[in-house]
Amino acid sequence: MPGFSFQLHKTDGKARLGEIATAHGVVRTPAFMPVGTQAAVKAMRPDEVRALGTDIVLANTYHLMLRPGAERIGSVGGLHRFMNWPHPLLTDSGGFQVMSLSPLRKVNANGVTFRSHLDGAMVALTPERAMEIQDLLGADIAMQLDECVKLPASRAEVERAMRLSLSWAERSKRAFEHVVDRAPFGIVQGGTEPELRLESARALIDISFPGYAIGGLAVGESQEVMLAMLDVVTPVLPQNNPRYLMGVGTPEDLLEAVSRGIDMFDCVLPTRNGRHGVAFTRFGAINLKNGRHADDPRPLDPESRCAAAREYSRAYLHHLVKANEILAAMLLSAVNVSYYQELMDGMRIAVAAGRFEDFREETRALWAQGDLPTLT
């Protein structure tokens, strides 16, 4: 596909090092995509997101189609220009948000009709319309429309949604075939049923997508179950196509999923936790609401690449969080996005050096050790 390609440079066990080429630049994999729900990574400027090591951002089709509207964004030059992010963009199809935000919805073979959470208007979304919206936005990677079911769910319900998603996958790919320099991804569904996951993956491979996502996880199941599904699916996915685990997750989730052959991730966790006073560091999560930080002059991590983690005291960050200052969300979101990108960079370096398992154990040991010792 012109303008889009994936090159697998090296493997270390199942962990993979590669690059996705797009019309807007290269994405180094394994890659973490900060989530720009409303065409903005919350509490962060685009240039700051980039400076912290981000190659690609995810934007939310569901929210942008409702406000300000895909046609409006298209008319002003597309999403890259609209949000001042001239780098790679991936857009989801809206399937997950329809499930999570719109309890009043009707699904049939043609598509889904749902009630907008903004104004109550009824909105119709078909595979063709989902891809048209993502084309108008100008996404470098566009996701097929799928139906995501909340777990736990019955096998019958999971199978119904998986088969519907497969029929929508064919229509989604067909609707995007006229678009040059950009790529549609298929989404493996099947809940926590190994046989259904395998059937979905193999059917999508037959359709032949440039990339494959694993969806319908991190929706109520345990980490153990999620990882078990990756153990089922990733061995059958093509080696020379990127693999994307949607909506995941914690730093531990990322480390474990990369060890199982995943290349791409997105999650709201870094910025959401930052807005709620929690910082991610190489020593694990630090809750700055905790009173033990009130008199602590040390930074979060003097070795972090992020200035917010190096140059502000824990006492000051604690004060900002307790005072509900906007600056707290800004600084801690930067700390967290930086840590996620440092973790991905560490994994890429480790795979390149053939020492991924050593890196994995060293990282887990630091998390187990916990935060820096308190002041004496």
- Number of neighbouring beta carbons within 10 Å of residue 9: 13
Tokens for 251?
């730093």
Q: Do 286 and 204 share a structural domain?
A: no
Tokens 């002003």 belong to 76
pLDDT in tens, 28-51: 999 999 999 999 999 999 999 999
pLDDT in tens, 173-228: 999 999 999 999 999 999 999 999 999 999 999 999 999 999 999 888 999 999 99
Residues composing the chain: 376
Tokens for 102?
């719109």
Q: Do 295 and 233 share a structural domain?
A: no
* 372 pLDDT higher than 70: yes
On whether residue 376 sits in a domain, the answer given is no
Give every CB contact of residue 271 below 8 A, 6+ residues apart in sequence. 34, 35, 41, 42, 43, 44, 333, 336, 337
Tokens for 270?
């870094």
On whether residue 374 sits in a domain, the answer given is no
User: Are the CB atoms for 4 and 183 separated by under 8 Å?
Assistant: yes
pTM above the 0.75 mark?
Answer: yes
* 376 pLDDT higher than 60: no
Of 224, 248, 266, the position where a domain reaches its end is 266
Q: Do 248 and 296 share a structural domain?
A: no
Q: What's the burial of 75, exposed, middle or buried (CB within 10 Å: 0-12/13-18/19+)?
A: exposed
The CATH number of the domain where 155 resides is what? 3.20.20.105
DSSP string, 217-277: -SSS--HHHHHHHHHHHGGGS-TTS-EEETT---HHHHHHHHTTT--EEEESHHHHHHHTT
Q: Do 314 and 258 share a structural domain?
A: no
CA distance 314 to 372: 12
pLDDT at 74 (0 to 100): 98
If one counts the domains in the chain, the total is 2
User: Are the CB atoms for 129 and 111 separated by under 8 Å?
Assistant: yes
On whether residue 100 sits in a domain, the answer given is yes
Mean per-residue pLDDT, 254-282: 98
pLDDT at 84 (0 to 100): 98
DSSP string, 59-92: E-HHHHHHTT-HHHHHHTT-HHHHTT--S-EEE-
pLDDT band of 97, cuts 50, 70, 90: confident
On whether residue 111 sits in a domain, the answer given is yes
Of 227, 245, 266, the position where a domain reaches its end is 266
Tokens 């179950």 belong to 225
The mean pLDDT value of the chain amounts to 96
On whether residue 52 sits in a domain, the answer given is yes
pLDDT band of 293, cuts 50, 70, 90: very high
pLDDT at 219 (0 to 100): 86
pLDDT band of 375, cuts 50, 70, 90: low
pLDDT at 252 (0 to 100): 98
pLDDT in tens, 151-167: 889 999 999 999 999 99
Of 266, 291, 317, the position where a domain reaches its end is 266
Q: Is 212 helix (H, G, I), strand (E, B) or coil?
A: strand
Give every CB contact of residue 1 below 8 A, 6+ residues apart in sequence. 181, 183, 210
pLDDT band of 1, cuts 50, 70, 90: very low
pLDDT at 191 (0 to 100): 96
pLDDT band of 2, cuts 50, 70, 90: low
- Number of neighbouring beta carbons within 10 Å of residue 178: 8
Q: Do 114 and 82 share a structural domain?
A: yes
Residues assigned a catalytic role: 92, 266
Give CB contacts under 8 A, 24+ apart, made by 226-233.
226/253, 227/256, 227/257, 227/260, 228/192, 228/194, 229/190, 229/192, 229/194, 229/197, 230/257, 230/260, 230/261, 230/262, 231/260, 232/194, 232/197, 232/198, 233/188, 233/197, 233/198, 233/201
Q: Give the dihedral sign, CA 33/38/41/42.
A: negative
User: Are the CB atoms for 218 and 256 separated by under 8 Å?
Assistant: no
Percent of the chain with pLDDT over 90: 92
Q: Do 215 and 279 share a structural domain?
A: no
Tokens for 88?
């790679």
Sheet of 122-125: strand order equals 105-107, 112-115, 122-125
Q: Do 227 and 133 share a structural domain?
A: yes
pLDDT at 137 (0 to 100): 98
According to DSSP H, which parts of the chain are helical?
46-51, 61-66, 70-75, 79-82, 95-101, 127-137, 155-176, 194-207, 223-233, 251-258, 269-275, 307-311, 314-322, 326-353, 356-369
Q: Do 302 and 220 share a structural domain?
A: no
On whether residue 49 sits in a domain, the answer given is yes
Instruction: Provide the b/e sequence for 232-251 (b: ≥16 CB within 10 Å).
Output: bbbeebeeebbbbbbbbbbb
Q: Do 94 and 203 share a structural domain?
A: yes
Q: Do 262 and 281 share a structural domain?
A: no
H or E element at residue 26: strand 25-29
Q: Residue 103 belongs to what domain range?
A: 5-266
pLDDT band of 3, cuts 50, 70, 90: confident
Q: Do 205 and 338 share a structural domain?
A: no
Mean per-residue pLDDT, 289-299: 97
* 64 pLDDT higher than 70: yes
pLDDT at 95 (0 to 100): 83
pLDDT band of 94, cuts 50, 70, 90: confident
On whether residue 257 sits in a domain, the answer given is yes
On whether residue 375 sits in a domain, the answer given is no
Q: Do 296 and 259 share a structural domain?
A: no
pLDDT band of 102, cuts 50, 70, 90: confident
* 374 pLDDT higher than 70: no
